[in-house]
């Protein structure tokens, strides 16, 4: 039996929806009580320790992603972090283009489209079957571009963009870079120092098993002070306890992107889960995931199914996506057998094994797929 199964609450059946919501670790469920204990016993006096719990969340992110704690700012989700970044851009006369891709998560497109109100032009990298070479990126990273949004692992097909190379080229052109790691954090090793982007945004709900509400924004300490968010509050202030309504001064790190009174509990849960993920090790999770996804891919190929995830292991995140002739019919077959997966229009069925899944489960999944499906 897979030793990690006992460390998580896993819904009945076979759970392969880790690209959507990672399972709750037992430790997270039992230890989150600390938050309530502080509230119970200290009331308003709990703030000091509650805020130190946020520092703990940022510390765990630093361990996970190789950053520094004060480069992280808690956010409720990726969409809100992206909106804050877009509205913090320094005015640049000859750079009116914002670049993203048709394969980014739709939220990102929504946030970008509203920037047209401010005179920006939005440009999408065409979907191109969800595969983007560095050469394609280079064609679009033109001198009139102010910012490029790069999704690390694409939600629809799990393609891994060549982030390091894109950032390097973008920087040579003077373009600001934002990387979305919502779909890769926890299953693909990430080294923020090596990337050296301007911003990285993500959330804890998927492979990090940290639940909803614990998003984050990482801002490069070399460039963070060039950005002036408009969505602010007293926790974005250099000294939140100054209480001078006429004198707002941004704090001098990523936390200028914070806002008003922050939520705490989601970050407590996320940190407990992230510490478990860190103790298991993302390298190990990646290795295990690739072993299972490789079996799934090879057996699906043998059945002549239409796999839309890149076949090269280094080019894919944690998910295998298969586009069946009748996705809904196959989806219902899996539902009946209590195999949890989902279907994304235009892409197909998504299968995402985590550290607590095993080969036996993958064999059951494969047995349900029929040649010609």
Name the residues that contact ligand PLP, by CB under 6 A. Answer: 77-79, 105, 107, 151, 155, 180, 182-183, 203, 215
Q: What is the DSSP letter of 252?
A: S
- Measured CA distances, 174 to 92, 118, 371 (Å): 11, 21, 50
Q: How far is the CB of 313 from ligand PLP (least distance, A)?
A: 20
| Least gap, CB of 286 to ligand PLP (angstroms) | 17
CB of 219 to ligand PLP, least distance (A): 17
The residue among 38 and 163 lying less far from ligand PLP, judged by its C-beta, is 163
Q: Which is nearer to ligand PLP, 7 or 79 (CB)?
A: 79
The smaller minimum CB distance to ligand PLP, of residues 175 and 181, is found at: 181
Q: What is the spatial distance between Cα 16 and Cα 318, in angstroms, rounded to a whole number?
A: 11
Neighbours of 179 (CB within 10 A): 24
State which residue, 215 or 262, has the beta carbon closest to ligand PLP.
215
Q: Residues, the chain, total?
A: 373
Identity of the residue, 46 or 190, whose beta carbon is nearer to ligand PLP in the bound complex? 190
Please check whether residue 265 is in contact with residue 210, taking contact to mean a CB–CB distance below 8 angstroms.
no
- What phi-psi label fits residue 13: left (phi over 0), alpha (psi between -120 and 50 degrees) or beta? left
Sign of torsion, CA 307 309 310 313?
Answer: negative
CB of 183 to ligand PLP, least distance (A): 4
- Measured distance CA(267)–CA(183) in Å, rounded: 18
Cβ 152 to ligand PLP shortest distance, Å: 8
Nearer to ligand PLP, 7 or 75 (CB): 75
The distance of closest approach from Cβ of residue 108 to ligand PLP in the complex, given in angstroms and rounded to an integer, is 7
Distance CA 13, CA 146 (A): 47
Residue 73: name the closest of 84, 87, 88 by CA: 84
For the CB of residue 180, give the shortest distance to ligand PLP in the complex, in Å. Answer: 5
Q: In 243-333, which ranges are E strands?
A: 320-322
- Strand-pairing partners, residue 148, are 99, 177
Which residues, in sequence order, are CB contacts of 123 under 8 Å at separation 6+?
A: 97, 98, 99, 100, 140, 145
Least separation in angstroms between residue 159's CB and ligand PLP is 11
How far is it, in rounded angstroms, from Cα 179 to Cα 199? 6
Name the residue nearer to ligand PLP (CB basis): 21 or 122. Answer: 21
219's tokens: 């801002």
Closest to ligand PLP by CB, 95 vs 259, is 259
Least distance from C-beta 321 to ligand PLP, angstroms? 12
- Closer to ligand PLP by CB, 159 or 227: give it: 159
- The helices-and-strands tally (H runs, E runs) of the chain is 12, 14
> Longest Cα pair distance anywhere in the chain, in angstroms?
69
């Amino acid at each position: 039996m897979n030793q990690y199964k006992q460390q998580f609450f896993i819904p009945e059946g076979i759970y392969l929806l880790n690209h959507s919501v990672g399972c709750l670790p037992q430790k997270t469920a039992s230890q989150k009580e600390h938050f309530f204990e502080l509230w119970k016993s200290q009331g308003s006096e709990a703030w000091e320790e509650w805020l130190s719990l946020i520092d703990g969340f940022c510390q765990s992110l630093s361990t996970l992603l190789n950053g520094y704690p004060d480069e992280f700012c808690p956010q409720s989700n990726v969409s809100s972090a992206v909106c804050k970044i877009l509205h913090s851009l320094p005015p640049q006369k000859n750079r009116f283009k914002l670049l993203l891709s048709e394969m980014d998560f739709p939220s990102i497109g929504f946030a970008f489209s509203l920037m047209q109100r401010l005179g920006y032009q939005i440009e999408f990298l065409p979907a191109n079957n969800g595969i983007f070479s560095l050469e394609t990126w280079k064609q679009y990273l033109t001198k009139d571009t102010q910012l490029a949004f790069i999704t690390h692992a694409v939600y629809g097909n799990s393609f891994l963009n060549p982030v390091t190379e894109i950032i390097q080229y973008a920087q040579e052109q003077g373009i600001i870079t934002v990387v979305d790691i919502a779909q890769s954090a926890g299953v693909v090793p990430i080294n923020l120092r090596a990337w050296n982007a301007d911003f990285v945004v993500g959330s804890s709900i998927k492979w990090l098993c940290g639940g909803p509400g614990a998003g984050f924004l990482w801002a490069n300490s070399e460039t963070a002070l060039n950005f002036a968010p408009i969505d602010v509050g007293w926790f974005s202030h250099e000294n939140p306890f100054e209480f001078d309504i006429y004198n707002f001064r941004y704090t001098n790190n990523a936390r200028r992107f914070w806002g008003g009174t922050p939520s705490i509990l989601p970050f407590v849960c996320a940190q407990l889960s992230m510490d478990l993920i860190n103790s298991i090790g993302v390298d190990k999770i990646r290795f295990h995931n690739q072993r299972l996804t490789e079996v799934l891919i090879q057996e699906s190929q043998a059945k002549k199914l239409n796999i839309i995830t890149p076949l090269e292991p280094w080019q894919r995140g944690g998910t295998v996506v298969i586009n069946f002739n009748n996705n809904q019919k196959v989806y219902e077959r899996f539902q009946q057998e209590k195999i949890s997966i989902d279907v994304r229009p235009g892409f197909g069925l998504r299968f995402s094994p985590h550290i607590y899944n095993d080969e036996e489960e993958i064999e059951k999944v494969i047995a349900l797929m029929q040649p010609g499906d």
